Chains A and B, each alone.
Chain A
Amino acid sequence: MDLFDQRAAVDESEGQYGLSGEMKKTQYVLQLLGAPWCPDTLKCILVAAEQGMEMTCGLLDVSENEQDSSDYLAVSPLGVAPALKESDYTTAGVRAITEFINARGLGNTLIPMNAVQASDQDCWIEIARTQAEPAINTLVAECVCSDSGDAGKIDEAKAALGPVLDQVNDALSKNDYLVGKNFSLADIHWEADMYLLGLTAGNDLIESRSNIKNWMNGLQNKKSACGQDVVASSFLPSAADIKAKKMPPIIKIEDF
């Protein structure tokens, strides 16, 4: 039994989505190992919900360096996290998982076909990962995971985020979503980041930027990309869950 089956076990009882014959045989239930405070893990959860893919989730406690444990290296040999399993296939890393689920999923692709939009999408994803997430990770560590945050670190992280969020706010003044009229993987990346930021003392950075705030409000009411009666953000862990290191046990799709 590998780490996926230990921590994100699939309930194989009759009627389980994807296992009882309603769906195509290739659509197996997904199993995810990640951490609830990790932006990359939340992106995987959001894509699964958007694309109508049922997924069981288990904790990989990277705060305890579990990504270097022998059990984890057995499923992700280079220690890349989060990791995903679909039947006999395993992959790891946010780019691999989100695009794998997007390709497997039931909805329209979340990746633009148009060269300019596809390039813009990847640019926004890179900005999120390289410029926003280091500061957001600090804020989550200090404000959500810790009982007494370091005020100096919090102020420094907020100051670093301001100019980046101004760019996002500006982009959202022109379009419904980050790369135009259609929801894309760029929105997934920033949705996860802004969700985590909203749980911290950096929430005022969102409140003071009306376009980001309106975009977030829209996402909290948006039906999933595959048209099922699911709001993807409703699966994200609460601040209490994050502090308790609790992953959402399952992304359950009942409206299929």
Chain B
Amino acid sequence: MGLFGFGGKKEKTASAGKGDKISFNGGSDAVTAKCILTAGVRGVEMDINLSGDGANLSHGPVSAQGESACVTYFDKKGTGQSLRPKKARLLGDQNYWMDVSCQYLDRGEKVNEVLAKLDETLANQDFIVGQLSLADPVVAGSVMALKKAGNCPSGLSNVDAWLGRVEQKIPENLRANYMGQLG
């Protein structure tokens, strides 16, 4: 057995009770869109406040701050299986696209190149790494923000179809009440 790592010692951590509801605060930006899409896809119920800045959540005694922390928490708290692929190569692909979304799309850099590559990737598969993964709500959040700002190139039929598939994965009330405000 390894001397370190999470197969070893277990420890008690703060945790929310059954009656505690998640409260999420964010702004009307790509980061918030990623978090809400992830929560929606994972079936996490929460109260949402979009008048804030950045992204943070509270859940009983637990709090999390920032895009990555919130996305991870929603994935872990969702129903059924996590969106993180178990196979190393799919995990690498998922994280590659999540990095690309932060590094380029959210900064408005290489947008045409990245989306052309994404369109090519989605030509023969429904989701970014094949199966639904965290890359889908995260990259979709970036693309939605670009679309809302009018910075998304047109003619990307595979990206548009994929965006529709991701949106179909989230509950109707989230789509109706929040998605139009984001990005």
State which residues 1-52 of B face A: CB under 8 Å: 1-9, 11, 13-15
Q: A123 within 8 Å of B by Cβ?
A: yes
Chain B residues with Cβ under 8 A from A125's Cβ? 68
State which residues 124-173 of A face B: CB under 8 Å: 125-127
Further pairs besides A91-B89, A96-B92, A225-B3: 5, Cβ < 8 Å: A91-B93, A93-B103, A99-B95, A123-B64, A227-B2
Shortest Cβ distance from residue B59 to the other chain A in the assembled complex, whole angstroms: 9
Given A107-B4, A182-B4, A223-B3: A89 touches B89 (CB 8 Å cut-off): yes
Q: B174 within 8 Å of A by Cβ?
A: no
Q: B114 within 8 Å of A by Cβ?
A: yes
Beta-carbon contact of A108 and B96 below 8 Å: no
A120 to B62 Cα, complex, angstroms: 10
Point out the residue from B67, B88, B99, B117 that lies within 8 Å of A93, measured CB to CB: B99
A96 to B96 Cα, complex, angstroms: 5
Beta-carbon contact of B69 and A123 below 8 Å: yes
Beta-carbon contact of B68 and A183 below 8 Å: no
Chain B residues with Cβ under 8 A from A120's Cβ? 64, 69
Q: A113 within 8 Å of B by Cβ?
A: yes
Per-residue interface assignment for chain B, residues 154 to 183, with 1 indicating a CB less than 8 Å from any chain A CB and 0 otherwise: 000000000000000000000000000000
Q: How many chain A residues touch B (Cβ–Cβ < 8 Å)?
A: 48
Shortest Cβ distance from residue A174 to the other chain B in the assembled complex, whole angstroms: 12
Q: A100 within 8 Å of B by Cβ?
A: yes
Chain A residues with Cβ under 8 A from B132's Cβ? none
Point out the residue from A97, A112, A118, A182 that lies within 8 Å of B92, measured CB to CB: A97
Q: A180 within 8 Å of B by Cβ?
A: yes
Given A110-B6, A113-B6, A181-B9: A92 touches B96 (CB 8 Å cut-off): yes
Q: Is the interface of A mostly helix, strand, loop or mixed?
A: mixed
Chain B residues with Cβ under 8 A from A192's Cβ? none
Shortest Cβ distance from residue A90 to the other chain B in the assembled complex, whole angstroms: 9
Residues of A within 8 A of B (CB): 50, 77-80, 84, 89, 91-97, 99-100, 103-104, 107-123, 125-127, 180-184, 222-223, 225-227
Beta-carbon contact of A225 and B5 below 8 Å: yes
Per-residue interface assignment for chain B, residues 48 to 68, with 1 indicating a CB less than 8 Å from any chain A CB and 0 otherwise: 000000000000001011111
Q: B148 within 8 Å of A by Cβ?
A: no
Beta-carbon contact of A115 and B89 below 8 Å: no
Q: B91 within 8 Å of A by Cβ?
A: yes
Point out the residue from B1, B77, B94, B99 that lies within 8 Å of A80, measured CB to CB: B99
Beta-carbon contact of B103 and A109 below 8 Å: no
Chain B residues with Cβ under 8 A from A103's Cβ? 86-88, 91
Point out the residue from A96, A109, A123, A227 that lies within 8 Å of B95, measured CB to CB: A96
Point out the residue from A93, A113, A115, A116 that lies within 8 Å of B100, measured CB to CB: A93
Shortest Cβ distance from residue B57 to the other chain A in the assembled complex, whole angstroms: 9
State which residues 73-102 of B face A: CB under 8 Å: 73, 76-77, 86-89, 91-96, 98-100
Chain A residues with Cβ under 8 A from B103's Cβ? 80, 93
Given A114-B13, A182-B6: A99 touches B72 (CB 8 Å cut-off): no
Beta-carbon contact of B6 and A111 below 8 Å: yes
Beta-carbon contact of A115 and B76 below 8 Å: yes
Beta-carbon contact of B95 and A225 below 8 Å: no
A226 to B91 Cα, complex, angstroms: 20
Output the residue of A79, A92, A103 with the most chain B CB within 10 A.
A103
Output the residue of B14, B77, B94 with the most chain A CB within 10 A.
B94
